[in-house]
């Protein structure tokens, strides 16, 4: 606060689209109106190899079952380009973290709201119809919407080591790890941004504060081994069971015949 100076500008950030500045409360990316799009982008790139970004946000609106669509945090080489991915450009290069509140596919194994990260290479598209399921780097369920206390996110990045996202949404001052991914490398000279859009469903998407800081490099961590996948057991057919019973019966029969033969032979010797 107060977000803007006497010239109605911000020293560190540019904003545009439908974004509205409330000098004493927030930067509202979208209001509760259909087909809105707003954004907030850093003027200077993040140059540090190891850094932390912490921001407070608020997503609110009607208390019904239909609302959306959500907002995104960006660490990308592109900036201030409107597009279909939560209000920003598709085929981005860098990291997008999507705070998704609307289920487009209706076939997910997780619930919404959902927080998901995607590492873009500049060529791969985000599939909005599938809510980015095919290109998901990591994610978690987090019901951050309509909270009476501050909701926050903290992204920690150590180049070539790990990327971690923590959220504060269950209760105030309680951080929870959403995901941690190893061996992640972001492009050099990336910009920090936030964007949001609404379609037929609406919500208010507010950015309240943003803090970035350089941090010391962490000790190199080894990525955990992938979980072991159990091989599916082959179904047992009736024929194979019947065949095993015949073989077992045959073995017992041969042993019985051999026993009777030896017994008879011993009797003849005694006679």
pLDDT at 48 (0 to 100)? 86
Considering the segment(s) 13-214 as one domain, its CATH architecture is: Sandwich (2.60)
pLDDT at 261 (0 to 100)? 55
3-class DSSP assignment, residue 134 = helix
Query: How do the pLDDT tens digits run along the chain, 271 residues long?
Result: 888 887 788 889 999 999 999 988 999 999 999 999 999 999 999 988 999 999 999 999 987 888 999 999 999 999 999 999 999 999 999 999 999 999 988 777 889 999 999 999 999 999 999 999 999 999 999 999 999 999 999 999 999 999 999 999 999 999 999 999 999 999 999 999 999 999 999 999 999 999 999 999 999 988 887 766 555 555 555 556 556 666 666 665 655 555 565 555 554 444 4
In the beta sheet, which residues pair with residue 211? Answer: 54
165 touches 114 (CB < 8 A): no
- Measuring CA to CA, which residue among 171, 165, 170 is closest to residue 118? 165
pLDDT at 176 (0 to 100)? 97
Alpha helices (H) along the chain: 238-270
pLDDT at 269 (0 to 100)? 46
């Amino acid at each position: 606060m107060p977000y803007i100076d006497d010239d109605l500008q911000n020293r560190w950030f540019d904003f545009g689209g439908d974004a509205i500045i409330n000098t004493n409360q927030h930067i509202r990316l979208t209001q509760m109106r259909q087909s809105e799009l707003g954004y907030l982008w850093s003027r200077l790139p993040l140059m540090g190899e190891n850094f932390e970004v912490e921001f407070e946000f608020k997503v609110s609106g009607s208390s019904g079952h239909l609302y959306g669509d959500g907002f995104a945090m960006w660490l990308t080489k592109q900036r201030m380009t409107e597009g279909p991915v939560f209000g920003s450009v598709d085929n981005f290069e860098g990291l997008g973290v999507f705070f998704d509140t609307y289920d487009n596919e209706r076939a997910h194994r997780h619930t919404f709201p959902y927080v998901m990260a995607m590492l873009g290479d500049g060529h791969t598209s985000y599939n909005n119809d599938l809510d980015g399921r095919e290109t998901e780097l990591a994610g978690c369920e987090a019901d951050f919407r309509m909270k009476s206390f501050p909701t926050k996110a903290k992204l920690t990045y150590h180049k070539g080591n790990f990327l971690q996202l923590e959220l504060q949404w269950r209760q105030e001052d309680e951080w929870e790890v959403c995901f941690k991914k190893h061996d992640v490398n972001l492009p050099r000279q990336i910009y920090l941004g936030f964007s949001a859009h609404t379609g037929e469903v609406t919500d208010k998407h507010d950015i309240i504060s943003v803090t970035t800081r350089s941090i010391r490099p962490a000790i190199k961590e080894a990525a955990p081994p992938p979980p072991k996948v159990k091989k599916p057991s082959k179904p047992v057919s009736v024929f194979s069971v019947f065949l095993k019973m015949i073989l077992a019966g045959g073995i017992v029969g041969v042993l019985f015949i051999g026993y009777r033969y030896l017994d008879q032979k011993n009797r003849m010797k005694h006679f």
